[in-house]
Structure 1
Amino acid sequence: MTSGRQLAYDHLKDTVLSDPAMQGQFVNEQSLADDIGVSRTPIREALLLLAAEELVQLVPKRGAYIAPVAGRQIRELFELRGMMECYSARRTLELDTVPVPEMRGELDRQRALRADDDARSFIDLDHRFHSALVRAVGNDMLTKSYDGLRARQVRAGIVALFSAENRRKAVLDEHDAILDALAGGDAAAAQAAITAHLDATRHVLLAG
């Protein structure tokens, strides 16, 4: 059975932190406890874990604060993603383990979403598209390190969708370019496409 702390942690990390409306807001512990169906103690325990991950800030006498994603955090996140994903592109081509069918499936599901579908579904598929490539390297430490960025990646991706008109279509086009290069066995083109995709999102976030 999943503990109350784990339920609270998962809900906070996967839902509350990725809600653009919560950026710059304090967490209402009682409201959150009511939504999940637990007491406030598991909520506080989960917030301590998230504070240790630097995903929330604990302010004395005020509670847990969800700070807007800052410029330095954005730059560091996308620099780290670029290193991991570009390496994964080159390495999977060397190993002949590029997960083209899996990535194409995630991209097709992204494309099938209606324009009015929630941004969270779109960005969840975005993460799955990229993580499939990293996972295909077969390096467990790399995969775990990349998965550790998931909450920040999802949060940044959702904010970017709300910050730029037609960002959804641009993301689909950029994913197409990455997949075409990988399917064609062109490591340099794949790395260039990944870099262009990440740079585009980073620029949207820094400008917004």
Structure 2
Amino acid sequence: MHDQLSGRDRAYLYVRDQVLSSPAATGTFLNEQDLATAIGVSRTPVREALLLLQAEGLVEMVPKRGAHVPPMSGRQIAELMSLRGVLEQHAATTALQSGATPTAAMRIALNEQQRLSDVNATESAKEFIDLDGKFHQILIDSAGSELLSRTYAGLRARQLRVGLTALFSDEDRQRSVCDEHELIVSALDAGDEKLVHKAIEDHLEVTLQILLRA
């Protein structure tokens, strides 16, 4: 699919999903030429992509120095978790009302996460967090709203970065995430809206507290 994308779009997706998703990117300056070489494009589409990412608040263009990846403040992290909670709880309510809860697909992602929780955390962290994003995106997509799905997907880079940070900041966090995800799926299976909302809220609050301590 990426072959059909413009150079700017390829650069945008690469920087957003491969570079900015890493906690190691925080506080660094991105080298346009290195990015262009890695992506296989010229520097112009890379610069265009960085300007788009600046508009989204993911990088800051500093004169004579280039694109800086700013750290997320405690307030920004709290706002991210709050927004996620609102969107996920809304999606859960919509799915329950329609009688089409996506628990089967969510369990497939959860089973893969459980498998990875037995692997060395450092080696499996990126794949685990990718699956984490998939688990929550499945719930969001079940609401059947293109705007909702697109809005949530737009949080991906920030979610990957904070998710990886949380994994490395709390011992055995992978197993805890699996347990928290199981509570969300079980509540959906039970058709209990209040229980689903509480499971989502508790899951995000645990992650937030870990990140604020990190």
Cα RMSD, aligned residues only: 1.2
Are positions 1:56 and 2:59 aligned together? yes
Q: Given that residues 22 and 160 in structure 2 are in contact (C-alpha distance below 8 angstroms), is that contact kept between their aligned partners in structure 1?
A: no
Q: Which residue of 2 aligns with 1:12?
A: 15
The residue type paired with residue 78 of structure 2 is R
Match of 1:115 in 2: 120
5+ residue gaps in structure 2? Answer: none
Question: In the alignment, what sits opposite 2:187?
Answer: 181
Give the residue type in structure 2 aligned to 1:71: G
Please, what TM-score do these two structures have when normalized by structure 2? 0.93
- Are 1:85 and 2:88 counterparts? yes
The secondary structure found in structure 1 opposite 2:68 is strand
2:196 partner amino acid: A
Measured in 2, the distance between the counterparts of 1:15 and 1:128 equals 16
CA deviation string 1:72-114 (max 9, x = no partner): 1101111111111112222211111110100000111111222
1:134, 1:21 → 2: CA distance?
28
Residues matched between the structures, number: 208
Matched, 1:199 2:198: no
5 Å-filtered alignment, 1:42-191, equals 42-113=45-116, 114-116=119-121, 117-191=123-197
Dislocated runs of 4+, deviation >4 Å? none
Q: What is the TM-score of this pair, normalised by structure 1?
A: 0.95
- Whether contact under 8 Å (2:17, 2:156) holds in the other structure is no
Question: Once the 2 structures are TM-superposed, how far is the Cα of residue 179 of structure 1 from its aligned partner?
Answer: 0.7
Shift of 1:38: 1.7
